[in-house]
Amino acid sequence: MSAISVTHLGKSFGGVRAVDDLSFTVERGTLTAFIGPNGAGKTTTLRMILGLVTPTEGGAAIGGGPYRDLERPVSTVGAVLEATAFHPGLSARTHLEALRLAAGLEPGRVEHVLEQVDLTASAGRKVGGFSLGMRQRLALASALLGDPEILILDEPANGLDPEGMRWLRGFLRAYTHQGRTVLVSTHVLAEIQQIADHAIVLRAGRLAWQGPLSPETDLEELYMEVTA
Ligand SMILES: Nc1ncnc2c1ncn2[C@@H]1O[C@H](COP(=O)(O)OP(=O)(O)OP(=O)(O)O)[C@@H](O)[C@H]1O
């Protein structure tokens, strides 16, 4: 069974055709790059997979069924969709603790995910003073709370400095080496090329290309060709 499958998915916003007859699968244990020009429909697709936007046509399954039918959603999929709005007056630890309680997860998870994203030293600080990169790490920590099998990340490299990008690469690589699955949208092709084993390219809401990546693939070249 695929980790994620999208079948003839379509979404119109009024007269705007954001996603059009899109089908693809993401296999377990792979790191798949989800790429395409601005407005190609990446975020809309990710939001439909996560049950946050209702498709106009078609459907998406995650972990074997529609998101809304998952028995334990937080243990199946963790998502970071955009630089999430955190309450500026709360600490990172308090944020995570509130999410942990709401999801009914074990107490030890908060310290565990803080360590996973290398945020333990700043966990007691107010999030209002966090840099963009620290917010990205906190958002990732929130997604990891349920120890999910599948991670869906929308432009997680936004705001990360070179050290942060290198850290994220190592983190995602290690995550998939545990047999877990990552679907990540990004515009930073040189970064994702180093770790992705598969790519899905969108153009104007449609599938422009999908396939495995080898060390010889020039992802930027491929992207320019199929989105031209
Ligand atoms: N809520 C909405 N209402 C109206 N139009 C929308 C809405 N959400 C997305 N769109 C439109 O759908 C199209 C696809 O947008 P989407 O955000 O999915 O693209 P994207 O590939 O994620 O772009 P980017 O790389 O810029 O983040 C765009 O034309 C966008 O303006």
pLDDT digit string, tens, across residues 112-162: 999 999 999 999 999 999 988 899 899 999 999 999 999 999 998 888 889
Q: Is 129 exposed, middle or buried (0-12, 13-18, 19+ CB in 10 A)?
A: exposed
User: 82 is in which domain, residue-wise?
Assistant: 4-227
Mean pLDDT of 67-85: 87
**Nearest in space to 39 (alpha carbons), one of 16, 58, 56:** 16
pTM: 0.94
The domain that contains 71 carries what CATH number?
3.40.50.300
Atom number of ligand 1 nearest to Cα 36: 21
Give the Cα separation of 186 and 182 in Å (integer).
12
Pocket of ligand 1 (CB under 6 A): 13, 16, 18, 36, 38-44
- Residue 181, C-beta contacts closer than 8 angstroms, at least 6 positions apart: 3, 4, 26, 27, 28, 29, 30, 31, 32, 149, 150, 151
Atom number of ligand 1 nearest to Cα 41: 18
**Whole-complex ipTM:** 0.97
Question: Residue 83 above 70 pLDDT?
Answer: no
* pLDDT confidence of residue 158: 82
Give the Cα separation of 176 and 200 in Å (integer).
17
Mean pLDDT of 154-177: 90
Q: Which of 6, 9, 12, 16 to mutate to test the pocket of ligand 1 (most atoms within 8 A of CB)?
A: 16
Lowest mean pLDDT among 40-44, 62-66, 183-187, 217-221: 62-66
Give the Cα separation of 162 and 168 in Å (integer).
10
Atom number of ligand 1 nearest to Cα 202: 21
Domain count along the chain = 1
Q: Which of 6, 13, 19 to mutate to test the pocket of ligand 1 (most atoms within 8 A of CB)?
A: 13
